[in-house]
């Protein structure tokens, strides 16, 4: 492609999709880290993917342990060792490695422990990479043109980090290019000939062209990328994010650096505050709001027989409604107090089994429900086996 045509293509892609995406994230509380600073955080090594100094500072802050009623902090060496272990985890194929990393990051999936010495004894204490209970205790960063090296170099348009760990990758296209092209590029980059190790860390993958946004997770085939729709309108929240003046949220120099990282494709750009929200904006606010991103990661990702799966919006809102419903109580005519029941209606092939698994997982992790008992009744032997296998594949025994 001639250089002049390449610059024109990149200009449209950056102006129409990439920059508005970043602007919205900044207005939602993400911090911008320049491509240069992101590389420094990786010791200049593009085959490292964790922003080590950001991670070390935040993980020192959010972690502590208790012994005999006294609170202690982990040593900086222990924290950095934990980060190095995560960075250098042995690669055993994309999905297997992704599951290992997920199990380390998610405390309910095993998590990680650090041995500390006390009274001449070695004691194992839980260590967390993310504070899921208090989303505001975490650091959310975004960068553009993130260079990553595997067998070949790739440069995702946008990468989002939580506490320095790459959590989301976004591929942007200009509005005249089908969003499927962004998804094709995403899945190509996960292939063994490119840079699959980066995607072993990520939880949310997005392809967008401003007019349309589709999401998936690591290893999601093209045909299973989906559109997210909010059950209830969040247009006021979207309008507020779109119309918020960037320079009131971040230093002007930081915004200029973001423009510079887009290879000069946005020279002379000024933020548009009077535009109408796009489908991309709606998807960004729905999926990347910090608490929502952590909720999706912790509670709505499953590994089912070697396939990583992320909830669709129908499942997400159904489970939230179910959890809300069973938290309410009703009193029978006999004066017995019990939780409310209900009915969820599904069509064939809509993911009933996965909805059940995700709901049971949410029940187990609910601190207000002790030892929940789940009874599954089916009307067909093949369905019984299917559900049993799904629970088994997701490490929940039926």
For 29-86, the pLDDT digits (tens) are 999 999 999 999 999 999 999 999 999 999 999 999 999 888 989 999 999 999 999 9
pLDDT score for 325: 81
377: which 2 tokens? 């009744």
pLDDT score for 6: 35
Average predicted confidence (pLDDT) for the chain: 87
pLDDT score for 7: 42
Q: What is the mean pLDDT of residues 313-341?
A: 80
Q: Which SS3 state, helix, strand or coil, does residue 71 take?
A: strand
pLDDT score for 371: 77
Q: What backbone torsions phi and psi does residue 332 show, to the nearest 5 degrees?
A: -75, 170
Confidence of residue 91 (pLDDT cuts 50, 70, 90): very high
> By the 8 A CB rule, do 355 and 319 touch?
yes
Asked if the model's pLDDT at residue 3 lies above 80, the reply is no
> By the 8 A CB rule, do 312 and 351 touch?
yes
pLDDT score for 118: 82
Asked if the model's pLDDT at residue 210 lies above 50, the reply is yes
Confidence of residue 8 (pLDDT cuts 50, 70, 90): very low
Confidence of residue 235 (pLDDT cuts 50, 70, 90): confident
CA dist 308 and 99 (Å) reads: 8
pLDDT score for 5: 34
CA dist 21 and 237 (Å) reads: 15
pTM of the model: 0.89
CA dist 329 and 145 (Å) reads: 51
> By the 8 A CB rule, do 77 and 63 touch?
no
pLDDT score for 4: 37
26: which 2 tokens? 């900044």
Residue scoring higher pLDDT (183 or 394): 183
Q: What is the mean pLDDT of residues 341-368?
A: 78
pLDDT score for 397: 64
Backbone dihedral region of 395: left (phi > 0), alpha (psi from -120 to 50 degrees) or beta?
left
The owner of tokens 């200029």 is 256
E strand or H helix at 114: strand 112-118
């Amino acid at each position: 492609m001639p250089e002049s045509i390449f610059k024109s293509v990149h200009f449209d892609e950056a102006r129409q999709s990439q920059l508005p995406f970043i602007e919205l994230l900044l207005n939602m509380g993400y911090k911008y880290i320049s491509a240069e600073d992101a590389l420094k955080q990786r010791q200049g090594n593009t085959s490292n993917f964790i922003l080590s100094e950001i991670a070390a500072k935040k993980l020192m802050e959010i972690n502590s342990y208790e012994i005999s009623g006294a609170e202690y902090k982990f040593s900086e060496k222990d924290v950095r060792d934990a980060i190095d272990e995560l960075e250098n985890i042995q690669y055993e194929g994309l999905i297997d490695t992704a599951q290992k990393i997920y199990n380390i990051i998610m405390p309910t999936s095993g998590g990680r422990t650090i041995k500390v010495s006390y009274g001449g004894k070695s004691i194992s204490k839980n260590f967390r990479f993310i504070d899921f209970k208090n989303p505001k205790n975490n650091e959310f960063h975004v960068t553009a043109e993130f260079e990553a090296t595997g067998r070949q170099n790739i440069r995702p348009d946008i990468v989002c980090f939580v506490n320095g760990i790459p959590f989301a990758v976004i591929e942007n296209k200009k509005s005249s290019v089908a969003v499927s092209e962004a998804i094709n590029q995403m899945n190509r980059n996960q292939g063994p000939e490119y840079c699959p190790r980066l995607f072993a860390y990520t939880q949310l993958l997005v392809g967008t062209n401003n007019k349309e946004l589709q999401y998936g997770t690591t290893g999601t085939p093209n045909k299973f990328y989906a559109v997210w729709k909010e059950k209830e309108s969040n247009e006021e929240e979207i309008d507020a994010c779109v119309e918020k003046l960037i320079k009131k949220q971040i230093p002007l120099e930081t915004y200029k650096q973001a423009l510079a990282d887009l290879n000069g494709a946005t020279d002379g750009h000024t933020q548009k505050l009077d535009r109408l929200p796009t489908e991309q904006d709606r998807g960004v606010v729905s999926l990347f709001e910090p608490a929502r991103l952590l909720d999706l990661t912790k509670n709505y990702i499953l590994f089912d027989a070697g396939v990583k799966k992320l909830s669709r919006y129908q499942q997400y809102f159904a489970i939230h409604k179910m959890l809300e419903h069973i938290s309410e109580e009703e009193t029978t005519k006999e004066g017995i107090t019990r939780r409310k029941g209900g009915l969820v209606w599904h069509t064939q092939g809509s993911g009933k089994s996965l909805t059940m698994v995700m709901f049971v997982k949410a029940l187990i992790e609910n601190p207000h429900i002790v030892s929940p008992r789940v009874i599954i009744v089916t009307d067909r032997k093949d369905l019984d086996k299917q559900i049993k296998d799904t629970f088994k594949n997701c490490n929940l025994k039926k």
